[in-house]
Amino acid sequence: MNGKIAVEEHFAIEETLDGAMNFKSSDAMNAMRSSILDIHEQRLRLMDQHGIEMMVLSLNAPAIQAIPDPSRAAEVTRIANDVLANEIRKRRDRFAGFAAVAMQDPDAAVAELKRAITELGFCGVLVNGYSECPTPGRALYYDFPEYGPFWAALQDLDVPLYLHTRDPLPDQQKVYEGHPWLTGAAWAFGAEASAHAARLMCAGIFDRYPSLQIILGHLGEGMPYNIWRLEHRVKKSPRGIPAKKPLGEYFRANFYLSVSGNFSTPTLLAAVEQIGSDRILFAVDYPFEEIAQASDWLEAAEIDEDLRRKIARENAISLFELNAD
């Protein structure tokens, strides 16, 4: 199947490379370094082999969000966005981009968001979960009041935010002690991202900024399968929750899900049942997942052809207003 558009595909710059190198063997580290720094060689060959017309590129995790110093975070953000914009200019027919932003400084985040969308031509923004700050052990979540201007700017620009994953802060990982296999992408990433998404819903962010659109990867980080119970229990015990609507309404109106790294047809069908066929996007999570596996799965999945086309490209073209052939 040709013409697929993949929306969670990562690159790195030298300043953020360490965050992508969570591998034990030197061979694996060298392979990852080669894959994540490359844009126009191996990546394009794999795209051509597996029918991927376009990739929406984003900076690797945790990158900017793991730089506690706000000034340094903003500096690296501009470097990364300029690098990405330059690479996209070389092949606008094959690549689009998500901006990185330094949420450690809300004013700087707004300024860079506006520059990235209006000057660099990016189609959205991706943040790698909460941001660290100079206060040890403090995580900056984006339901905090100081992020109101950022959400207002995002709504005005009419572009989505991809809420990407990361591990909780080290002092918040007690539940994983003695179980290192549960950290990272296996479990902790999804648990952290879904909790962050729930915070945004519960805090009334979508009441104040009703047209915001948030993308969650990995078929929703478990949210499609928990949203009914979350809404149900909050109704029974609201405890002063600021949100004005049932939480499921926000989920269905303000969220998209990508299939990145979760290539399971039963899981996909359950997500479609919860959020609708127009809100599912194709993604690989390259280079952390394999392009061949993602593409082969979507092409062989026992789903109707209308849904396959929507997931493969049509939903992305609509959301990002892409000029795809």
Angle at 139 between CA 135 and CA 142, to 5 degrees: 125
Active site residue 48: no
Task: Pull the structure tokens for residue 102.
Answer: 């330094």
Q: How far is CA 34 from the centre of its chain?
A: 22
Name every residue whose Cβ is closer than 8 Å to that of residue 114 and which is 6 or more positions away in sequence.
Answer: 153, 157
Distance (Å) of CA 219 to CA 102, 260, 285:
26, 7, 12
Of 167, 285, 306, 325, the catalytic one is 285
DSSP 50: T
Helix, strand, or coil (residue 316): helix
DSSP 123: S
Whole-number Å distance between alpha carbons of 165 and 96: 20
Active-site residue list: 285
